[in-house]
A and B are shown apart, each in its own frame.
Chain A
Amino acid sequence: MTATLTPVEARSPLFGRLLLAEWTKIRSVRSTIWSFIMLILVTFGFTALFIGLTVGQWTKADPDQRARIISDPAGTILGSGFQFGQLTICVLGVLVISSEYSTGMIRSTLLAVPSRLPMLAAKCVVFAALVFVVAEAIAFPSFFMGAAILHSKVVVSISDPGVLRAVIGSGLYLSVLGLFALAIGGIVRHSAGGITGVIAFVLVIAPLTQLLPGNLGRYVHAYLPTSAGVLIGQSHPATDDVLTAWQGFGVFCLWTAALLAIAALLLKRRDA
C-alpha cells in the first residue's frame, strides 16, 4: 500500500466548524440518547404520579399545601416532573466533558483545537441549545397533561399570568443546569466524582441550607444556584421567596458563569 493522500481544501469560519464538531460528538454517543429518554420518562411519569396523588388526596392535604397549589398550579405541575427529571441533565452535563477525560479523547480534541477555549465555548452552546429544545418539547406537553389531571380541583391555563413564562422558564432552567453540571465536570474531570458532586448539591446540600437558623438559612438558600434557578419555573412567587423569578434565574446564571470561568481557566492552564 502506498501513502497516497489527496490534498484537502475547504474552509469555513472556525466557530461554526467547532459547533458542527461538538454536535457530531454529542449525537454519536449513547449516553445522550439514554439521558434524554430517561428525562422524558421520569418527567412525564412523576408529573402524572404526583399530580394524580395530589388530586386523589386533595381533601386530606393540609390547607397550606392546598393554598400553595392554588396560588401556583403551573409551578406545581412543572416542578413535580422536573424535580427528578433534572437529575438526568446533571448526569449528562458532567459526562459531556468528563467522558473526554476518562476515555483520553480530550487529547484528540485538544490537538485539533489547541487554543482550547473555543472548544469549551462551542460545547456549551451546542449542549445548552440541545437541552433547551428537548426540555421545551417536554415542558409543554407535561404542563398540559398535568393541567388536565388537576382540572377537577384547580383550573390552570397557559394564558394565565406567568404560566407561559414558567413553562418556557423550566426549559431555560434545565439548559443552565446542564451548563452548571458541565462546568463541574470540566473542573473535576472525573465522571463519577462530578456526577456525585452535582447531584449531592442539587438534592442534598441546597435543600439542607434551609435548616440553617433564622433568616440566615432563608437567604443562603435563596441565593444558591439551583434553588434560585427554579424560581423561573413558578408562575406565582411563594410568600417566603426572597428573589423574583427573573432575579433567581439571574443568580443561577451568575453562579454558572463563574463556574464556567473557573473551568475555562483550568482548561487553559492544566496539562491535558
Chain B
Amino acid sequence: MIEVNDLSKRYGDKIAVDHLSFTVEPNRVTGFLGPNGAGKSTTMRLILGLDRPHSGGATIDGKPYHRLHDPLRKVGALLEAKAVHTGRSARNHLLYLAQTQGLPTSRVGEVLDLVGLTEVARKRAGGFSLGMGQRLGIAAALLGDPQVLILDEPVNGLDPEGILWIRNLLKALAADGRTIFVSSHLMSEMALTAEHLIVIGRGRLIADSGVAEFVERSSKRSVLVRTPQSDELTAALSAEGGEVTADGDGVLIVEGLEAPRIGELASAVRVVLHELTPQRASLEEAFMELTSDSVEFHAEVK
C-alpha cells in the first residue's frame, strides 16, 4: 500500500505538487492520470525519495522509501526517463542492482527472460530502442520480486504487442495481491488496464475513484434525437426543462432529460422520431472535461 499525505513540491516559484493526498491499495491496478505537466512524475519521484518534498510525505507499507531495507525487494520502479548508463550492457545494469540487494545472479537471467531481452542482454544499453529501454526498465523494476510497483508511463514507446504484454503483466501482478501504481497521460490506456483512478491536474487531486464512477461523475450525459419536426420537439422538450441544442439536419442534442422521457414527450406532441440515442462520454472525453481547467500547456486549435 502506498500512502501519500499532504505532499507538496515547488521548483523555484512553480508549484509542481500541491498538497496531494491519496492512497494506493493492493490487489488492483491504480491508474495515475493527468495531462502533461500535471505533476505525475514528480509525485512518483517524491514517493521514491529521489526528490525532497517541501511538505508532507509518502509511505510504502507504513515506511518512507528511504527507510526501507533492500528497497528493490519491496518496491519496483520504472521512471519515465531512461535510468541506465548507455555504455553498460543490460545484463551488467541488472547485475549491479541485484548485488546491491543481495539478490542471486541467477535472478538477472530470470527477469531478462521475463521481459524478453535475453538475446540482447550483452549489448550496450545505449543502442536499445525506446521499447527495449522500457523493457529493461521493467526488468529492473521486477528484479527484487517486489510487492509494490510504481511505473511511470510504462507503455511509452512499446509496440502494440508490448502494450498488450504490459497490460496483462500488470493485471496478473495485481491479481497476485501486489500494489500496482501506473501513470499515463492516455485515458484510453488506463481504461483498459486500471480498475481505480487517481487523477491530478496542476499538482492537485481532481478525482480518486473507480473507473466507472469517474466517467459517471464527470461526464454530462446527453441524448441524440433526430426528427423532421425539430422546432415542435425543441419547444416541447424545453418546456419540460431539457436543454436542447440544434446540431443541423434535424439533429438535436438534449441534456437534462433521459431518453425514455424524450420518447414519451415526442409521442405526446405527435412528433415523429427517426433516432433516439443516449450518448455516453468516453473516458477520454470525461478526462478532457475534468482536466480542461488544469492543462499546463494549451495549444490553440483554430
| Chain A residues proximal to chain B, CB less than 8 Å | 1-8, 10-12, 17-18, 20-22, 24-25, 28-31, 99-100, 103-115, 269, 271-272
Contacts and interface: CB of A to CB of B under 8 A. Distances in A.
A114 to B, nearest CB: 4
Contacts of B92: 24-25, 28
A112 B169 contact: no
B101 A112 contact: yes
B191 to A, nearest CB: 21
Nearest to A270: B52
B35 to A, nearest CB: 23
Contacts of A24: 92, 95-96, 99
B145 A3 contact: no
A269 B83 CA distance: 20
Nearest to B46: A271
Contacts of A100: 85
Interface of B: 45, 48-52, 65-66, 68, 70-73, 75, 77, 79, 81-89, 92-93, 95-97, 99-104, 107, 110, 114, 140, 142, 144-145, 165, 168-169, 172-173, 176
A104 to B, nearest CB: 5
Candidate in B82, B87, B97, B100 with the most chain A CB atoms within 10 angstroms:
B100
A112 B97 contact: yes
B52 A271 contact: yes
27 contacts: A1-B168, A5-B142, A5-B145, A8-B73, A8-B104, A21-B96, A24-B96, A25-B85, A28-B95, A99-B87, A100-B85, A103-B82, A104-B81, A105-B84, A106-B83, A107-B81, A108-B83, A108-B97, A109-B100, A110-B49, A111-B71, A112-B71, A112-B72, A112-B101, A114-B71, A271-B51, A272-B50
Given A8-B103, A18-B100, A111 B169 contact: no
Given A24-B99, A103-B83, 4 more contacts: A1-B168, A103-B84, A110-B49, A111-B77
B299 to A, nearest CB: 28
B66 A115 contact: yes
Contacts of B88: 25, 28-29, 105
A103 B99 contact: no
The 10 A-B residue pairs with the shortest CB-CB distance, nearest first, are: A28-B92, A21-B99, A114-B66, A271-B51, A3-B172, A24-B96, A112-B100, A107-B83, A108-B83, A21-B96
A100 B86 CA distance: 10
Contacts, number: 116
A111 B144 CA distance: 12
Given A29-B85, A108-B83, A271-B52, A17 B101 contact: yes
B104 A10 contact: yes
A111 B68 CA distance: 10
A28 B142 CA distance: 22
Contacts of A17: 99-102
Nearest to B137: A108
B89 A28 contact: yes
Contact of B145 (A6, A29, A30): A6
Given A107-B50, A111-B50, A115-B66, A99 B85 contact: yes
B169 A1 contact: yes
B116 to A, nearest CB: 8
B145 to A, nearest CB: 5
Given A10-B102, A111-B72, A271-B52, A30 B172 contact: no
B100 A30 contact: no
A247 to B, nearest CB: 39
A108 B93 contact: yes
Contacts of A4: 114
A125 B102 CA distance: 19
A265 to B, nearest CB: 14
A6 to B, nearest CB: 7
A152 to B, nearest CB: 46
A100 B93 CA distance: 12
A2 B96 CA distance: 26
Nearest to B178: A3
A102 B268 CA distance: 73
B87 A3 contact: no
Contacts of B81: 104, 107
